[in-house]
Amino acid sequence: MKRIKNRLTSVLAFVAIPGAVYLLFLILRPAAFGKFSMLGMLITQSFINSIIAWGLSFSMTAGNLDLSIGAQISVSTIVGCLLSQKIGMPGLILGCVGTSLVVGVIKVLLMRVIRMSSMVISIAYALILASIGGVIGGSEILVISTEHTILGRFPANVIIFLSMGAIMFFLQKYSVYGAKARAVGGNPALAESAGISTIQTQSVAIMLAAVYGGIAALLSLSYGTGTSIENGLDTIGTAFQAMLGVFVAGFISKQVNIVFGIFAGILSLNILQTGLVAVNFDTNLKNTITGLFLIILMAVTEMRKVSAEEKMHRDAFKANSMKRKQVQAADR
């Protein structure tokens, strides 16, 4: 009975935020949001950012904030697109995933040499990668042939999405690496004293993020959206979009596994942004609403954390008081 209750709580927590946001715009724009096709479109549109967020969460769990993932994906899509024009589907896959892995390896090597703030270094990576992408792809918009977009269509896109989610679920919940990553992210010094290598753990996290970034690049091109080089700092927006999903996952982490929590967060954000466009909201203020959405979630999360810490201190105080009373009673 308790297990059923916990499962029901998890399901409710999973659908609560995206469901509430969707309900809001269903009331405001019933003609658009009342269609089942709209919900299906919003879900499939969330696949790419969910995969990016899953990859980014590996780095964040291990205590490494990588803001260059957007530029990494941008370069990967450019190389993948160019190679697909030369050697077809194999070039598309090799270009997207292979380029992302090469960038990941370079990041790992530089991390072992340059001991700086991961945030500072990742901004530098973003600028460098964007410049490289501009040299390789030029200023024109690149698209792949429609015959190579099969991975972006049903059921291939769903299979890719579910497979990446299943891999993360296993690594995060059941693997030794997942436990090491949480230890390093929680307290690096304590993890090192326990024999866990911080550098090695963060290196694996970077490579996992690279794999997920490469798959996201592949799926992005397969949706037929095309690609072009972005300004280095503009690509950081991709990382922030993914981070929003991770923050929402943290908000409901007690009830929902991080894999499902991230998807719920990305879906909520996608519904919010699509809904704001549907109600003709000023595009200049769209990011303001998104930012407020994040601030509210973070504020509530922090309040819950403080409340939990206060409860822990109260419980500890009660336990100590009872222990003292027992000792005093024994002395009598």
The reported pLDDT for the residue numbered 9 is 67
* Cα–Cα distance measured from residue 148 to residue 218, given in angstroms and rounded to the nearest whole number: 10
222 and 331 both lie in a single domain? no
Considering the domain architecture, whether residues 273 and 288 belong to the same structural domain is answered as: no
291 and 217 in one domain? no
Regarding whether 318 and 239 lie in a shared domain, the answer is: no
Q: At residue 33, does pLDDT exceed 90?
A: no
Same domain, 7 and 51: yes
Beta bridge partners of 227: 142
76-110 pLDDT, tens per residue? 888 888 888 888 888 888 988 999 999 888 888 88
Instruction: Clarify whether residues 101 and 248 are in a common domain.
Output: yes
> Quick one: 229 and 268 in the same domain?
yes
Measured distance between the N- and C-terminal CA atoms of the chain, rounded to whole angstroms: 45
Listed residue (150, 133, 165) closest to 54, CA to CA? 165
pLDDT band for 138, please (50, 70, 90 cuts).
low
C-alpha–C-alpha distance, residues 235 and 73, integer Å: 9
CATH number at residue 75: 1.10.3470
Q: Is the pLDDT of residue 59 over 90?
A: no
Cα–Cα–Cα angle for 23, 27, 32, nearest 5°?
A: 90
Higher pLDDT, 138 or 68: 68
Are the beta carbons of 125 and 68 closer than 8 angstroms? yes
Per-residue confidence at 323, pLDDT binned at 50, 70, 90?
low
The CB density around residue 27, as the number of other CB atoms within 10 Å, is 9
319 shares a domain with 266 = no
Cβ-based burial of 322 (10 A; exposed 0-12, middle 13-18, buried ≥19): exposed
**Which pLDDT does position 226 carry in this prediction?**
63
Domain count, the chain: 2
Beta carbons of 206 and 111 less than 8 angstroms apart: yes
In this structure, the answer to whether residues 290 and 248 fall within a common structural domain is no
Q: Does 310 lie in the same domain as 169?
A: no
Neighbours of 317 (CB within 10 A): 10
CA angle 195, 112, 72 (to 5 degrees): 115
Query: Domain check: are 51 and 128 in the same one?
Result: yes
Q: What residue numbers bound the domain in which 297 lies?
A: 282-332
Helix segments in the chain, DSSP class H:
2-28, 30-33, 36-61, 69-87, 89-93, 99-113, 118-137, 156-173, 176-186, 188-193, 198-222, 236-251, 258-278, 286-331
Are 93 and 218 in contact by the 8 Å Cβ rule? The answer is yes
Q: The whole model's pTM is what?
A: 0.82
Residue 244: pLDDT band (50, 70, 90) is confident
- Cα–Cα distance measured from residue 262 to residue 260, given in angstroms and rounded to the nearest whole number: 5
